């Protein structure tokens, strides 16, 4: 597709289009720390893992924790950083590894969560950020910085994808799965091809303002990605949008479905038949459905990668769809209403 002149005027567009360079840097960064990461995992203080972040990085934490537990069998969960500060009893008494994620490395709640963990818990800290030299980047036993993912715009796109891929690479490293790491290294080329192949689709669908509500469905490691895409829709387009687990959507939320609704399904391999049945029911209620997955979907990856390596591929085309919807609504995708790129909170008296 020929580049859109108006699109080129916005940093968000450039950040979405250039994100695969940051994916490569994320993988290079994890590989550079492979020895230290393996040693940390083997030292016996990782009986429990907590991922934490705020906003987008909380959704990243949900996705990263689910995949890590799936790959390693170690109990892993995601907790918003603010909750760890307000309710420190959430920290486990068993040896725990904290993975703290922040684009800027300066988010108040995340820094305070790390401080609370240091004071109350037994275990190590790994940080993931997009800013070398940030405060968070000095607080971990291992600090993974991916500056190529940093952004001028407020809503996270390139940054989220790069930090998420680093989290996936952590899972591959700690699971002792070099085959998965090799698969991840093929993802940037596939991501570039997806963007080129589906940008016109993203623009046409995103610009259709007959739709006024979006639901993003994903299960397992994909639920956190559904949450992130839903958040992008809210932030950049001021559109009603919510994420749900596939089967949960049938327990009440489907009452909101009608002809003005798009239901986006992040299809898996293992549970595809059930997920497809949910989407068929939503079409029966009048919704438009949009599917993403490896093959035979509206947005098909055709990657040949193991499923654990593919999750980042759900992101770029949907980010473009959200971006083009913002333009169609006359909004500035670089500067969403009421938001700042770095969220800081006055703490204490």
**DSSP symbols for 37-69:** HHHHHHTS--SEEEEEESTHHHHHHHHHHHHHH
Question: Does residue 94 sit in the same domain as residue 180?
Answer: yes
pLDDT in the model for residue 120: 83
pLDDT in the model for residue 349: 45
Question: For residue 230, what is the domain's CATH number?
Answer: 3.40.50.10490
pLDDT in the model for residue 46: 85
pLDDT in the model for residue 291: 98
Contact yes or no for 313/63 (Cβ under 8 A): no
Asked if the structure places residue 335 within a domain, the reply is: no
Asked if the structure places residue 338 within a domain, the reply is: no
Question: Does residue 71 sit in the same domain as residue 195?
Answer: no
Q: How many domains would you assign to the chain?
A: 2
Question: Does residue 100 sit in the same domain as residue 10?
Answer: yes
Asked if the structure places residue 342 within a domain, the reply is: no
Asked if the structure places residue 52 within a domain, the reply is: yes
CA distance linking residue 314 with residue 37, whole number of Å: 27
* Start-end of H helices in 18-55: 19-32, 34-42
Question: Does residue 128 sit in the same domain as residue 261?
Answer: no
Asked if the structure places residue 341 within a domain, the reply is: no
Question: Does residue 144 sit in the same domain as residue 217?
Answer: no
Question: Does residue 206 sit in the same domain as residue 173?
Answer: no
Host domain of residue 96: 5-184
Question: Does residue 203 sit in the same domain as residue 104?
Answer: no
Asked if the structure places residue 340 within a domain, the reply is: no
Question: Does residue 257 sit in the same domain as residue 245?
Answer: yes
pLDDT in the model for residue 2: 38
CA distance linking residue 10 with residue 12, whole number of Å: 5
Asked if the structure places residue 347 within a domain, the reply is: no
Contact yes or no for 59/218 (Cβ under 8 A): no
Q: How far is CA 261 from CA 68, 201, 280, 282, 292, in A?
A: 33, 17, 14, 9, 17
Question: Does residue 91 sit in the same domain as residue 50?
Answer: yes
Asked if the structure places residue 104 within a domain, the reply is: yes
Identify the domain boundary among 163, 184, 205: 184
Identify the domain boundary among 138, 163, 184: 184
What tens-digit pLDDT sequence spans the chain (349 residues)? 334 446 678 989 999 999 999 999 999 999 999 999 999 999 877 889 999 999 999 999 999 999 999 999 999 999 999 999 998 888 877 889 999 999 999 999 999 999 999 988 778 999 999 998 999 999 999 999 999 999 989 889 999 999 999 999 999 999 999 999 999 999 999 999 999 999 999 999 999 999 999 999 999 999 999 999 999 999 999 999 999 999 999 999 998 999 999 999 999 999 999 999 999 999 999 999 999 999 999 999 999 999 999 999 999 999 999 999 999 999 999 886 655 555 556 666 4
Identify the domain boundary among 132, 156, 184: 184
Question: Does residue 168 sit in the same domain as residue 199?
Answer: no
Question: Does residue 49 sit in the same domain as residue 173?
Answer: yes
Question: Does residue 167 sit in the same domain as residue 211?
Answer: no
pLDDT in the model for residue 345: 63
């Amino acid at each position: 597709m020929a580049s859109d002149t108006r699109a080129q005027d916005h940093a968000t567009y450039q950040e979405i289009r250039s994100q695969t360079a940051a994916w490569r840097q994320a993988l290079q960064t994890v590989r550079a720390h492979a020895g230290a990461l393996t040693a940390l995992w083997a030292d016996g203080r990782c009986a429990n893992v907590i991922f934490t972040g705020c906003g987008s990085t909380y959704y990243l934490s949900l996705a990263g924790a689910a995949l890590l537990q799936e790959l390693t069998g170690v109990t892993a969960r995601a907790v918003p950083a603010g909750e760890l500060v307000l309710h420190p009893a959430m920290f486990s008494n068993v040896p725990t590894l904290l993975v703290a994620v922040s684009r800027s490395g300066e988010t108040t709640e995340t820094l305070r969560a790390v401080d609370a963990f240091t004071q109350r818990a037994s275990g190590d800290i790994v940080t993931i950020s997009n800013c070398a030299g940030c405060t968070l980047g000095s607080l971990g036993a291992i600090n993974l910085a991916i500056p190529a993912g940093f952004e001028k715009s407020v809503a996270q796109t390139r940054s989220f994808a790069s930090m998420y891929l680093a989290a996936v690479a952590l899972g591959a490293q700690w699971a002792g799965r070099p085959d998965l790491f090799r698969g991840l290294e093929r993802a940037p080329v596939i991501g570039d091809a997806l963007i080129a192949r589906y940008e016109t689709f993203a623009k046409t669908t995103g610009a259709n303002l007959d739709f006024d509500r979006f639901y993003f469905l994903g299960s397992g490691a994909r639920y956190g990605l559904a949450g992130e895409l839903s958040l992008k829709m809210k932030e950049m387009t001021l559109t009603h949008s919510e994420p749900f687990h596939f089967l949960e959507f049938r327990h009440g939320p489907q009452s909101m479905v009608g002809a003005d609704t798009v239901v986006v399904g992040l299809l898996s391999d293992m549970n595809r038949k059930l997920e497809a049945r949910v989407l068929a029911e939503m079409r029966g209620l009048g919704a438009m459905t949009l599917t993403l997955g490896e093959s035979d979907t509206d947005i098909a990856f055709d990657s040949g990668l193991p499923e654990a390596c593919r999750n980042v591929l759900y992101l770029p085309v949907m980010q473009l769809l959200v971006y083009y919807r913002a333009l169609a609504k006359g909004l500035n995708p670089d500067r969403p209403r009421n938001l700042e790129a770095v969220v800081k909170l006055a703490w204490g008296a």
